[in-house]
Structure 1
Amino acid sequence: MKTSKFFIVLILVLVSNIAFAAGKVTLTIKPPVHDGGSRLMIYYVEYREIHEKDWKENGTVPVPMVGGKYVDMPYTAENLTEGETYIFRVRVENYYGTGEPGSSSKKVTVTSEDQSGIEVQSGPGFIKPGRVNSSVLSNVSSANQIRATGVLHKKEED
């Protein structure tokens, strides 16, 4: 009798593990090129089905740093519907706020097996008000273009 109960429990565990394995996508979050002038703290992973226009938050994860450098971060997006196709994007929060999202991932169709190897680039960190966005300045060649982009702000009093 004990043996049969053990096998029933074992079968239930195996079946539940198979059921929970479905609907997962493992992303590799690439750190942003610019941190916005502050330590990056949290990634916000967003997703949407390809036929929808509204983005939904899937979860958050701390931003890893090794040896003073931001490194890639694996993230498993769960609770997705098998057979649906999704795209993902990532925002990052620093001391000043949450930045704009990075570029979207490639399309991923969820299957019964974990999908992995999908890279998604995080957007830049939020830029402190009053700071000049150097990534914008590197693309401009004259003072008139700088004024036209609106990236110069009133300098804060020290």
Structure 2
Amino acid sequence: MSTRRHLPILRDAAPATVPASSAEEAASEPPPWHWIPLGTTVSLVGFGLLAQGAAALSVRLLGRVYPMGATAAQVAHIRAAHPAAARSVELTAALIPLLTLLLSVAVGSYVVGRRGNGTNARHGMLSGGLTVLIFWAVTGRLWSLLALVPVAMAAGYFSARWGVARRA
């Protein structure tokens, strides 16, 4: 008689666990461009928190030269008597809020570079540019503020680059 042939039976063989594919992991994470508006939000919230202190510091600096509630005639008299001091205080008082804005852009772009998987310095740069454009649109559209866009983009680029380096 012929011998019986048996088919192999798999017993107690647990199915091999399939590791999650990178496509499934990528689907659970937001794409890198989503970090641009997130960084802009961080920058604007940070600026909102720092703006009150910056405004108080500017008022305090201006109070050293001009009396509180000075009229236009008093301001003109002080400017004529001390032109260099008045102009330097006015310039410093005007630059403090702008430096606060650039600081908040740098922090928001750093967050983009540090926390955003798949992001690079370009995403931080775009976040900084978008932050200043929103600031420009909200503050009365002074054309001189558009000069801040390239400066903010540079600050965003370098701080996001630093964040990417810290992430790795």
Pick the structure with greater CA Rg: 2
> When you count helix as a share of all residues, which structure comes out higher?
2
**TM-score, L = length of structure 1:** 0.26
**TM-score, L = length of structure 2:** 0.25
